[in-house]
Structure 1
Amino acid sequence: MKKVAVVTDTTACIPQEQVARYDIEIVPVQLIFEDKTYRDGIDISAAEFYARLRKASRPPTTASSSPELYLEAFQKASQSAEGILCITEPSRFSAMYDSASVAKEMAAKTLPDMNIAVLDGTTAAAGQGLVALAAAREAAKGHDLNEVKETAENVMARVNLFATLDTLHYLVKSGRVPQAAALVNTILQIKPIFTLNHADARTVALPRTIKSAMKRILKLMERNVVKGEPLHAAVMHADALDNAIFLRNRIASQFNCSELFITEFTPVMGVHTGPGLLGVAFYSESS
């Protein structure tokens, strides 16, 4: 039996082969599409979701994972581990941290001997995935819960995330930005680049094309890596694989990557950003 199991959710955008390799427990987030509920990654794939989103007359919505779903994941993880580290999205963006915390309290009765730590994230999407993978690798080395949690917190403090949107159309439909902003986006064809660091989301650049956006993202990476240190990076995309491959290849040629992979952007966030999103999460091995 291993000392620590890692639990996170589908918003972390971890490829299935990595989930299986490190035995990470994934809690599905729920998508509500035309009055039907789907479990992200189980009942509907990212590719299926974005294909349907392009044709949808009504925007889909999301529902945070319930405490019961987290408790189920804790119970499964407890069968092969002495302790559990659960990593969630930032609590300021969703109720998943609260759900996981309630599940931890519930587990005190059903799993009284299980030590569970719930970590409130400061990054999301592939950034959260990189944190979970770093924690899972540490757990695979046989380290205890405190050591695995310390590794996750250390990586979390160093992760950067930059992404560009192909359109503001879906943000407007979800009520996240004013209609006027979408009008400007349509007229100017701006591809805004945003960052999500330390639970703070903000726009950092307003390029006019995806090609320019990719160049700007690479420059932002150059400013935020530690020179000479190996880089861990995850390129994420929402139904934009060709652009993701191009960006991945540029990153591979420009940086010393010890970890580099492409992953699909979680539909749970894609509800608001729409298809076409392209981004990268990364951190230097030490700082």
Structure 2
Amino acid sequence: MPIIDAGAPTPVASLVVDSAASLPADVSLRHPTLRIVPMRLTIGGVTYDDGKDITTQKFYELLQRHPGAATTSAPSPAAFLEAFEDLGRQSRSILCIVVAERFSSAIDSARSAGVKFSEENPDHEVCVMDSLSAAGGQGLIALEALKLIEAGKPLTTVVEALERVADRVRLLAFVDTLYYLWKGGRVPMIAHAGARLLHIKPTFELHQAQIATVAKPRSTRKALDRLVRLMKERVEGRAVRACIMHAAAEESAHLLHERIKREFDCRDSYVTEFTPVMGAHLGPGMVGVGFLPE
């Protein structure tokens, strides 16, 4: 029995992403060919679906009471399969873009679900793609995918284009404190103590699934300045699309957004929150920008 709804308009392809992409809340409402599969978050002995049954504000309240106690996990194969089955009623081709394999087993769950779905629906195809990124970088790739899908491009064309996009997209971000990384056992106490004493805001870059420390500015203002400077070095005067992200640091995010709109040929931009899945490890106060030079 065909899974496609009789009489319904049939998009060429549909898109699934995991919630690590930190897409704005209204994106799913505006794009019926998109489904977001939640990552899992456990804190205070309770497990939540990211973005579904816990708000960002509630999460940070819990994190203050349980620092270092939050853990995260990938969506189950069943969660991806549910999304594939839902979208399979609309289209015969499904693209699934997941957070970088280096950081999560989400890709394994998605591949497992894709195999099961394809066995049950041999007239459909599922392609699982490693974004080589996370948060705003992954989100920008997903938005590019939606543009191509909604333009009617076939899945093979979409994937080929997105592989080039994934090579170009970058993410720059700074953390307000190393406290949560220390409490989670990810950095030594001396690193946290030194950063706190010197007011250092460690700044990182994510590109092609590789993370590097690129600066150690000593105030939030200097950290924002450094993000802009580093972004300019990488954009090299080209037009750019940008996603500004924050973890309970909305004012700093909007200051960064205004500077980016003013100092770059910014074709498109938006502000969103880092998913609590990232905040679980890095804590509040984090600010970053994902960007895609043209």
Q: How does 1:1-287 map to 2 (within 5 A)?
A: 1-23=10-32, 24-56=34-66, 59-227=69-237, 229-285=238-294
- Judge conservation of contact 2:19–2:39 (CA < 8 Å) in 1: yes
Aligned residue pairs, count: 284
Residues 151 and 46 of structure 1, relative CA distance in 2, 3 Å threshold: farther
Structure 1 residue 59: Cα displacement: 1.9
Partner AA of 2:207 in structure 1: N
- Give the 4+ runs in structure 1 shifted more than 3 A: none
- Judge conservation of contact 1:239–1:275 (CA < 8 Å) in 2: yes
- Judge conservation of contact 1:54–1:275 (CA < 8 Å) in 2: no
Deviations 1:106-158 (A, max 9, x none): 11222221111000121111100000010011000011101111222111111
Q: Partners of 1:119 and 1:47 in 2: how far apart?
A: 31
- Judge conservation of contact 2:172–2:206 (CA < 8 Å) in 1: yes
Q: Partners of 1:124 and 1:57 in 2: how far apart?
A: 23
- Which SS does the other structure have where 2:12 is aligned? strand
- Judge conservation of contact 1:22–1:137 (CA < 8 Å) in 2: no
- Which SS does the other structure have where 1:14 is aligned? coil
Which consecutive unaligned segments of at least 5 residues does structure 2 have? 1-9
Structure 1 residue 245: Cα displacement: 0.6
Could you tell me the percent identity over the aligned residues?
40
Q: Normalising to structure 2: TM-score of the pair? A: 0.94
Structure 1 residue 259: Cα displacement: 1.0
Residues 208 and 60 of structure 1, relative CA distance in 2, 3 Å threshold: same
Structure 1 residue 195: Cα displacement: 0.6
Which consecutive unaligned segments of at least 5 residues does structure 1 have? none
Q: Which moved more, 1:46-55 or 1:7-16?
A: 46-55
Structure 1 residue 178: Cα displacement: 1.3
Q: Partners of 2:222 and 2:91 in 1: how far apart?
A: 47
Structure 1 residue 76: Cα displacement: 0.9
Structure 1 residue 55: Cα displacement: 3.0
Structure 1 residue 45: Cα displacement: 1.8
Q: Partners of 1:139 and 1:226 in 2: how far apart?
A: 29
Partner AA of 2:249 in structure 1: A
Deviations 1:34-63 (A, max 9, x none): 111110000012222123212335621112
- Judge conservation of contact 2:239–2:265 (CA < 8 Å) in 1: yes
Partner AA of 2:258 in structure 1: N
- Which SS does the other structure have where 1:176 is aligned? coil
Q: Partners of 2:55 and 2:198 in 1: how far apart?
A: 32
Q: Normalising to structure 1: TM-score of the pair? A: 0.96
Partner AA of 2:266 in structure 1: C
Structure 1 residue 16: Cα displacement: 1.8
Structure 1 residue 90: Cα displacement: 1.2
